[in-house]
Structure 1
C-alpha cells in the first residue's frame, strides 16, 4: 500500500459541449470531496457556471472551449469535419494548460471527460467516455478511421472509464460494445447525478421539458416547444438549461419556465412529472434510466450519437422518437401514452470502488 500524501489535489476536466459531460461528473466530484480531496474543476461556459453552483467549495479554472459552431441546418458531422483544425488546436491548448496546472497545483490525479489534451505521462490520468467508436452513417471506412484514431488517443491515458456495463442490458450499445476494448479500459456502470432523498410532496406535473445542448439548437428547440405548449391544455414545466440565469416564471396559466435546476431540484421535477421531453444525450439517458418515466426524445440535429441511441430505444418501444424538424408536440404526447416507460435495470453509481483503486494507483505513481 503506497504511503499517503498531504497533497490530495485532483483536476477534473469535463468537455463543455453542452452540459452532459459536466453533469455526469457530479457524482464523481461528490465522491472526491467526501474523500477529502481538493478538487480543481477545469471547464468553461455554462458547464463551468453549473458546477460552480453545485460545488462552491471547489476551485475552478476557465479553460477556453474549442469554439465549435453548431449549425442550424445540415449535417453536424460535415460541420465538425470543416472545423477539425479548431478541435486539434483546442487539444494542443489543453495540453499547454494542463502542463501549467500541474506546475501550479501538483495534482495526484487527473480525471478528463472527453478532453483529449488533458492528460499527463507523469500524473495518473483517467479518461471518461462512452464513445469507443463514433457512428458515421454512409461511410464505414471513415467510421473505421475514426475508431483507429480514438484507440490511438485512448492508449495515451492510464485508464479509460466507460460509464456503462460490459454485458446486457446496456445503454451505449455499439458505441462501447461493437469492438473489443483496450486493456486499460474499465466499465464502471452508469453515472447518475440524481441521488439521495427528494421532496415527495411536490404537486404532480404533466410534462417536463429538459432543454440542453449547444446553441443555436437549444434556443431553436425551446421556441418550438413554447409555441406548441401554449396551445395544449396540459401543465408544462420547461427547464431551459441556462445555468447563468435564475429566473422561474409562469409564462401562461399552464406553462412554467425555469432557467436552471440543480441536480436535487431537477430530480424532484422529474419524479413529479408524468412525461419527460429531452434531447437524447447519453448523460440524460443515464439520469432517466432508473426512473421509469414515459419519455419523448428529440436528438440534437445531426448528432449521430444521439440519433443512434434514441433509435435503439424506440426500436424496443421504450421512448417516442421525433426529429426536431418534424417535431409535433401533440402527436408525441399522444404516442407517449402507448409506449412502455423507459427503464433500464442497471445499477447506477457503482464506480466508487474503482475510483478508490485509481486513487491508490495515482498515489503509487506520485511516490515513484
Structure 2
C-alpha cells in the first residue's frame, strides 16, 4: 500500500472537511492516507478517521482583525510568522517523508508541505488570491509556491458554469492544472424538513465569536425552529437549548449531512467548502462573508449577482434580511463524478 500524506490548512474547517472525500477515495483505491495538520482541522480529521495515523504540523496561528479595514494590515503584520511556519512545516515534511516512507503528498493550501523525494499535489480553489489593490502581488506569491509542486488540483469545474469564478480560473499559472470537480463529503437525501433555519459558523477568531454573538441576538425573535452549529471543535459534543434554538458546538459529518438535509434554509459564511456542500445538497442559503476576507466577499457578491444566494455585510445583518431568500434560486451544480482512480494513478 502506498502511503499518501494528506495535509489540509487549519484556517477554519473548510480545508479539512473538503479533504474528507479525498481521504475516503484514497482508502477505497487501496492507498494508506497519513493525516497531517494542526489545531481544529487535525482534531476534526482524527474524529472522522480515528484508525488512521495522524501527525501534528507547525501552526500558522492565523487570526483575523476585529475591523474589516484592518484585515489586510493584520495579515501583513503576521507575514514573518507565516514565513517561519512555512519553513518549519517544510522541514517537518522532509522528516515525515523519510521516516514514514511517504509515496506522495496532497497539500490543501499548506505552502510548505512539499518534497522532491515523492510526487506532490497542491489543492486549491484560489489560483487568484484576491487582496484588493495588491491582488497581483498576492497571486504572484501564491503561484511561486504552487509551482514547487508537481500538479495543482482545483475542486471546481473548468467550464463557465462553475462555483469559484475568477478565483479558480487563471491563465498565468505555469503548473499542470486539473479541475477535479466540486468536492463534498455529503449526499442529498429527500427527508422531512425539521428545521426552518440552520446556522453554520466556523473560521478564525475573533470574527467567529463576533458573528455568533450577533446572530444569537438577532435570531431570538425568529418565529421558526433553529439549529445552530457553532463550529467549535472540542473533545466532547455539547447540545444546549435557548428558546427555539438548539445549539451544538460541532457536528460529525454524518449528523451534519443529515441536519442540513433536514433544514429548509442555511445561514452561514460564504466559504468555498460551504458553497460546495450546499450546492451538492441543492440548498437555499443566506451568506455573511467574513469582514475583510476578499475571497468570501467576492464569492458572496458573485452568487448574489447571479441571483442564487442573497448576502450582506456582517454589520448590516438583521433578522428581516432573511425575507430576501425566496427571491433567489439557491445553489446547485451538475452531477459530476471525479475519477479518483485515474487521478491518483496519474501521480502516485
Query: Shorter-chain-normalised TM-score: which range?
Result: over 0.9
Partner residue of 1:61? 55
Tell me the matched-pair count.
346
Which of 219, 224, 236 is matched with 2:214 structurally? 224
Partners in 2 of 1:179 and 1:75 — Cα distance? 31
Partner residue of 1:327? 317
Question: Which one has more relative contact order, counting CA pairs under 8 Å at least 6 apart?
Answer: 1
Partners in 2 of 1:97 and 1:208 — Cα distance? 39
Q: SS of the residue aligned with 2:273?
A: helix
Residues 195, 225 of structure 2: 8 Å contact kept: yes
Partner residue of 2:129? 134
Partner residue of 2:184? 192
* Distance 1:298-1:339 versus aligned 2 partners, 3 A rule: same
Residues 239, 260 of structure 1: 8 Å contact kept: yes
Partners in 2 of 1:147 and 1:36 — Cα distance? 36
Q: Residues 65-94 of structure 1, C-alpha deviation per residue, up to 9 Å, x if partnerless?
A: 111221111332221111110111111001
Q: Does 1:15 align with 2:46?
A: no
Task: For residue 180 of structure 1, report the CA deviation from its aligned partner.
Answer: 4.3
Partner residue of 1:3? none
Q: Does 1:250 align with 2:250?
A: no
Which of 331, 340, 345 is matched with 1:352 structurally? 340
Equivalent positions of 1:1-368 (< 5 A) are 7-73=1-67, 74-137=69-132, 139=133, 142-195=134-187, 204-244=194-234, 245-252=236-243, 254-328=244-318, 330-345=319-334, 347-358=335-346, 361-362=347-348
Q: SS of the residue aligned with 1:312?
A: helix
Partners in 2 of 1:312 and 1:355 — Cα distance? 30
Q: Which runs of 5+ in 1 are unaligned?
A: 1-6, 363-368
Residues 12, 112 of structure 1: 8 Å contact kept: yes
Residues 130, 139 of structure 2: 8 Å contact kept: no
Q: Which runs of 5+ in 2 are unaligned?
A: none
Structure 1 range deviating more: 142-151 or 185-194 = 142-151
Partners in 1 of 2:102 and 2:272 — Cα distance? 29
Partner residue of 1:366? none
Task: For residue 13 of structure 1, report the CA deviation from its aligned partner.
Answer: 0.5
* Distance 1:349-1:265 versus aligned 2 partners, 3 A rule: farther
Q: State the Cα RMSD in Å.
A: 1.7
Q: SS of the residue aligned with 2:98?
A: helix
Partners in 2 of 1:202 and 1:174 — Cα distance? 37
The TM-score with structure 2 as length reference comes to 0.95
Task: For residue 340 of structure 1, report the CA deviation from its aligned partner.
Answer: 1.6
Residues 27, 349 of structure 1: 8 Å contact kept: no
Partners in 1 of 2:62 and 2:274 — Cα distance? 21
Q: Residues 130-152 of structure 1, C-alpha deviation per residue, up to 9 Å, x if partnerless?
A: 11111222x1xx32222222222
Residues 189, 351 of structure 1: 8 Å contact kept: no
Q: Residues 28-74 of structure 1, C-alpha deviation per residue, up to 9 Å, x if partnerless?
A: 00011122322211111111111111111111111131112211113
Partners in 1 of 2:278 and 2:228 — Cα distance? 16
Task: For residue 349 of structure 1, report the CA deviation from its aligned partner.
Answer: 5.0
Q: Residues 148-171 of structure 1, C-alpha deviation per residue, up to 9 Å, x if partnerless?
A: 222221111011001111111011
Q: SS of the residue aligned with 2:327?
A: coil
Q: SS of the residue aligned with 1:265?
A: helix
